[in-house]
């Protein structure tokens, strides 16, 4: 009886190991057939999405040779902080030398640094850093308020849904991503401008007051959104990237 029990146990273990081996083998991606010397971003960096959501556009990188030509069949691998997922996370470049992945952001609001890498024929690693932004509930409310009240004047680009008024204004409003200017202003100053209009800080009178239109928490949400999308990033004391 004991021998039969041991025999059955060994069979179960072997079957499990065989199944794992089959699973791992099937998960192996295409084998690289070429190698480049540089890795560049084609598109998809600096996107904005909600926490736990897939970015609106895929992230595309390109492996190039010494002459700047795309290399087909070169290996690419993506990595990111905890909670970020890639579909796919690794593979080889297509006929144009590009590799495309869809990125799902983690559950924390903040700026996410993603990494892409390839390696040369000599196995030297070539790395690329990209940045994406995940909005939490407060920042998402701010984004909605921006679209409702601010974007028509502060964004010079028109869309099928919205015609920009930017070019019609004598004094051009700052884009909310214009960190070189807005990062120098305190939270109190920006709150005053939003609440009381441009003249509150000797700014353009074309900026209307929204203190009677928006609640205090909505103004705070709009401020949080402005700080989150700033380029270069707004970095008050204690700001840090989402960690692995």
CATH number at residue 114: 2.60.40.10
pLDDT digits 0-9 by tens, 15-50: 444 443 333 333 457 899 999 999 999 999 999 999
For residues 69 and 242, which has the higher predicted lDDT (pLDDT)?
69
Q: Are 127 and 75 in contact (CB under 8 A)?
A: no
pLDDT confidence tier of residue 112, bands split at 50, 70 and 90 = very high
Residue 19 lies in a domain: no
User: At 230, phi and psi to the nearest 5?
Assistant: -60, 140
Residue 239 has pLDDT above 80, yes or no: no
Mean pLDDT over 75-83 rounds to 96
Q: Please identify which residue in the block is written with the tokens 């807005």.
A: 182
Which of these three, 135, 150, 165, is where a domain ends? 135
Whether residue 175 is found in the same domain as residue 202: yes
Positive or negative torsion for Cα 79, 82, 84, 88: positive
Residue 12 lies in a domain: no
Residue 108 lies in a domain: yes
Whether residue 172 is found in the same domain as residue 149: yes
Predicted confidence at residue 28, as pLDDT, reads 59
Whether residue 142 is found in the same domain as residue 119: no
Residue 181 lies in a domain: yes
Whether residue 120 is found in the same domain as residue 202: no
In whole angstroms, give the CA distance from residue 124 to residue 41: 19
Whether residue 113 is found in the same domain as residue 190: no
Residue 18 lies in a domain: no
HSE (side-chain half, CA atoms, 13 Å) at 41: 16
Residue 25 lies in a domain: no
Whether residue 109 is found in the same domain as residue 198: no
CATH of the domain at 174: 1.10.760.10
Name, in order, each residue with C-beta under 8 angstroms of 33's C-beta and a sequence gap of 6 or more.
72, 73, 92
């Amino acid at each position: 009886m004991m021998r039969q029990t041991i025999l059955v146990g060994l069979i179960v273990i072997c079957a499990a190991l065989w199944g794992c081996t089959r699973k791992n083998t099937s998960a192996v991606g295409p084998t690289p057939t070429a190698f480049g010397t540089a890795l560049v971003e084609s598109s998809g960096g600096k996107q904005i999405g909600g926490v736990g959501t897939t970015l609106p556009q895929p992230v595309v990188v390109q492996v190039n040779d010494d002459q700047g030509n795309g290399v087909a069949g070169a290996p690419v691998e993506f990595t990111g902080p905890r909670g970020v997922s890639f579909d796919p996370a690794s593979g080889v470049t297509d006929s144009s030398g590009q590799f495309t992945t869809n990125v799902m952001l983690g559950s924390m609001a903040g700026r996410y640094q993603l990494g892409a890498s390839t390696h040369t024929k000599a196995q030297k690693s070539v790395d690329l850093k990209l940045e994406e932004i995940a909005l939490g509930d407060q920042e998402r409310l701010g984004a909605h308020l921006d679209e409702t009240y601010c974007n028509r004047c502060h964004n010079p680009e028109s869309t099928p849904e919205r015609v920009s008024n930017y070019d019609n204004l004598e004094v051009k409003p700052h884009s909310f991503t214009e960190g070189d200017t807005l990062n120098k202003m305190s939270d109190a100053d920006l709150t005053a401008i939003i609440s009381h209009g441009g003249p509150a800080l000797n700014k353009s009178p074309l900026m209307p007051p929204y203190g009677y239109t928006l609640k205090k928490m909505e103004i705070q949400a709009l401020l949080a959104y402005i700080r989150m999308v700033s380029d270069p990033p707004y970095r008050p004391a204690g700001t840090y990237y989402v960690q692995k």
